[in-house]
Amino acid sequence: MATITTDRIDAVRRHVADAVTQTSAASTLPGPEQDRLLEQALAESCELIGDWLDSQQSLAVPAAADVPLREVLKDHEQLSEFLSPLFADALGRAEPASDGRAAAVRQAREEVSRAVREARATARRHPRMTTGQLRQVATDNVQKLRNEVCQLAQGFAARRQHSLAQQPASGTEEEARRGSWRRRAVKALKAVSSLIVPLAVSLLFTVSGPHQAGQNISAWAHAADVVVTHDLAVHAQPGVTLAPRPGGPALR
């Protein structure tokens, strides 16, 4: 497993953004160059998410800490205040005070408020859903996204090798196939882009250790981790309503 660092996360985020931007319908880049950008972004995303999943394998929720979500999401305002600077740092904008920094903090607060609201909404819909069940849902959702990203990366690589081995096909039908592949890739990469910030924040509770997030982390680590885990689950499978998985830990 390769080490997950802030620099690595930022590099993947840049490559994903470049690939999405430069393969739009208005792009003037040649088709092969668009495919190269998508393949690179997909391959790097596949590896990064895979390493993140590997880092989570030893983080099963202890039985004593596996409690209903509603019990750890009681204080909305204080939780938002606690998480906002962590999200600002994960956005890669932890700079000296300036207009840019102020805007970044506002953006982070908005992101955290949304994440907390959505986590609390899930807790209301499923009052018996536990933190352990949430972590399993998040892991499953992220794994599904990784599978899709990896399969697309392999598909682009295979198409590139095929085009090198013989004269590339042309015509309306081939262009339609290429367009379909690119649309699928862009959709998956947009999900990866949304996943990057909560993934980076989650490292504060895993790889680096909670003490890295501030002196008051001990009081809020559990609730903050729940919100971030929920956000990972949401962004990994956009549009899918979160619920306990059938066959998972029994509802209490």
Q: Write out residues in the chain with pLDDT < 50, as ranges.
A: 93-97, 207-217, 219, 249-252
Calpha distance 59→138 (Å, rounded): 13
What is the maximum span of the chain, computed from C-alpha positions, in angstroms? 63
Closest by Cα among 197, 72, 54 to 139: 54
Q: Which domain holds residue 65?
A: 6-236
Instruction: Tell me the per-residue pLDDT of 2-13, one tens digit each, with 9 for 90 and over.
Output: 788 888 898 999
237 CB-near residues (< 8 Å, 6+ apart) = 141, 144, 145, 191
Supply 123's token pair: 């807790």
Calpha distance 107→128 (Å, rounded): 32
Helix (H, G, I), strand (E, B) or coil at 176: helix
pTM of the model: 0.83
Within a domain: residue 247?
no
**pLDDT value, residue 224:** 86
Instruction: Tell me the per-residue pLDDT of 23-57, one tens digit each, with 9 for 90 and over.
Output: 887 878 888 899 999 999 999 999 999 999 988 77
Within a domain: residue 89?
yes
Within a domain: residue 40?
yes
Calpha distance 161→151 (Å, rounded): 15
**pLDDT value, residue 59:** 61
Within a domain: residue 140?
yes
For the chain, what's the residue count?
Answer: 252
Total tally of structural domains belonging to the chain: 1
In angstroms, how far is CA 153 from the centroid of its own chain?
A: 17
Supply 233's token pair: 């689950």
Q: Find the helix packing angle between 172-202 and 131-165, rounded to 10°.
A: 140
**pLDDT value, residue 32:** 85
User: Scanning the structure block, which residue is given the tokens 């430069």?
Assistant: 22
Calpha distance 14→21 (Å, rounded): 10
Within a domain: residue 251?
no
Within a domain: residue 243?
no
HSE toward the beta carbon, residue 1, CA cutoff 13 A: 14
* DSSP per position, 118-176: HHHHHHHH-TT-BHHHHHHHHHHHHHHHHHHHHHHHHHHHHHHHHHHHSPPP-SHHHHH
**pLDDT value, residue 216:** 41
**pLDDT value, residue 206:** 59
Within a domain: residue 68?
yes
Within a domain: residue 241?
no
